[in-house]
Chain A
Amino acid sequence: MIVVMAASLALLVCMAGLTLGSTLLSPLEVIAELFGLGDGENAYIVMTLRLPRVLLSFLAGAALGIAGLILQSVIRNPLASPDIIGITNGAAVAATLYTALLMGKWGVAGLPFAAMLGAGTVSLLIYLLSWNKGVTPIRLVLIGIGMAAAAGAVTTMMTVLSPTMVASQAYIWMIGTVYAANYAEVGAMLVVIGVLVPLTLILTRPAHVQELGDDVATSLGDAVQRHRTLFIVISVALAGSAVAYAGTIGFVGLVAPHIARTLIGRSFYLLVPVAGLLGGFLVCAADVIGRTLFLPYDMPAGIFTAAIGAPFFIYLLYRNRNL
């Protein structure tokens, strides 16, 4: 079944992530190390450097994929993604502000929190501005696009006005990188996903019924506004935390749900895990490519998700050109 295939793909890319790098390891050596049977020679490389990085990139990608799926379902538009609704840009503004003003005082550790706060604030703003006795998809999108543009402008302005070092630090974060990942971050992402994904799956029926339109959904007894708010909160939390720990990795939230839908169709409870697995695969693969293809340079994963994502986005626009 598709889910099994996606899961195997995911495992493959994780394995690739663990074996490839400036020091090439064999799969056997990696497996030995994972189960504590190795000779400790490669322990540092596998356990400290690569494993957290592979896990974090995968989890961040999964969170983004599912966040994108939820938004596309709520907004009833295949072009929706966390990028459009301003989540990623809100996080970027906060992160850039933090890098420019507070990094010196509080260090890198505070960056994820700033990013999450930024994502949450912007999303709340968008939601409130869209509120008019309820929130409709079209209003969310329009205001989201406006906010994204505004946030982008603020970020660019700050980057231009800051000293070079700050600017390049912020810039690298914004492109999206999982460099220097650690287990604390992996743990945090696991908690986020562990709580929110089952919650999303429980809401499968409301997701399906809302596809029929607000009027029909209300007629069928769905608490449309309540469920919609819940969906948006889940999506923001997922995307916000992914962005907080891995930077603004673009396009995953757009691409992963689409591919999932092409493979699976409409079934929400199948789409969620597949979008997650595909999203994880995309980011993990992008990260692996980024740090192996241009050795000794370590390119941020965001570049490669954009490289795959941008043409895909153009293809999507082309396919929907008659709308």
Chain B
Amino acid sequence: MQLETKSLTLGYGHKTVIDALDLQIHEGKISVLIGSNGCGKSTLLRSLARLIKPEDGTVLLDGKQLAQWSTKELAKQLAILPQGPIAPEGLTVRQLVEQGRYPHQGLLTPKSARDEWLINQALEATQLTLHAQRAVDSLSGGQRQRAWIAMALAQDTPILLLDEPTTYLDMTHQIEILDLLFELNRQAGRTIIMVLHDLNLACRYADHIIALRDQRIYAQGKPEEVISAAVVKAVFDLDCEVIRDPLFGTPLVIPYGKRKGYAE
């Protein structure tokens, strides 16, 4: 299913955050939105998930405007994991993952065999089967995030949107989550769109990078094609060196800051 925007304009009150943006999401690929704080990446992501209404322009899924999709039908195609979600006290991992089946159930229909199977699959994919009965708020940061991803997995959607899924995690857990998402994409072909702050991790994991600046797309493409010192300067106003990551071959951004490094 093709997800795209046409001349999308987003704003809050009088402030325009995104202006007349045309964007096509590559199906079956991992796309990462980058940009400086306040550039509209989260806003754009949320509008793709229909959490925000456009001021102008449209978001189209499979050629049909988002506004024309029924909420339940849309929920079967798109899942979004917002930033810093909060689980109610005492909710177990399994109970959280079960909620992922909501769009596939009526108000009174009992759980089906397929529901059970998908829930178990989701728990396995996130390696939480042994922790299924534990309360979500008793888990570590990485485990908690995996639990929320498991819920989105149980929702069984071809497209997964994640708003800064790694922001509050330590490095080990950041890699853990991104590896999981990478697997989900490579093995199951899910389209993944996420907002990431860490430029280097974005380069490592993304198939397609979309850099936002001044309410528009400044550059987009494969990490090797997009990320250069000039682009980083333009998008982030940051002086840097870009080398090739010795482990993965992807661009590695090394920022200067106030000090000039060895040269001083």
Q: List residues of chain A with CB under 8 Å of any chain B CB.
A: 202-206, 208-209, 211-213, 215-216, 218-223, 265-266
Contacts and interface: CB of A to CB of B under 8 A. Distances in A.
A323 B49 CA distance: 31
A266 B91 contact: yes
Contacts, number: 64
Contacts of A266: 88, 90-91, 95
B107 A203 contact: yes
Nearest to B163: A215
B87 A212 contact: yes
Contact of A220 (B73, B90, B99): B99
B88 A222 contact: no
A216 B107 contact: no
B79 A208 contact: no
Contacts of A220: 75, 79, 99-100, 102-103, 155
A205 B102 contact: yes
B233 interface: no
Name which of A205, A220, A266 has the most chain B CB atoms within 10 A of its CB.
A220
Contacts of A206: 107
B75 A221 contact: yes
Given A208-B99, A221-B102, A222-B71, A216 B85 contact: yes
13 contacts: A202-B107, A202-B108, A208-B99, A211-B88, A215-B51, A219-B78, A219-B80, A220-B75, A220-B100, A221-B73, A221-B74, A221-B102, A222-B102
A213 B99 contact: no
A206 B49 CA distance: 19
Interface of B: 46, 49-51, 71-76, 78-82, 85-88, 90-91, 95-96, 99-100, 102-103, 105, 107-108, 155
A260 to B, nearest CB: 14
A253 to B, nearest CB: 20
Contacts of B90: 265-266
A309 B102 CA distance: 37
Contact of A221 (B85, B96, B103, B108): B103
A204 B87 CA distance: 17
Contacts of A218: 50-51, 71
Contacts of A265: 90
Nearest to B49: A219
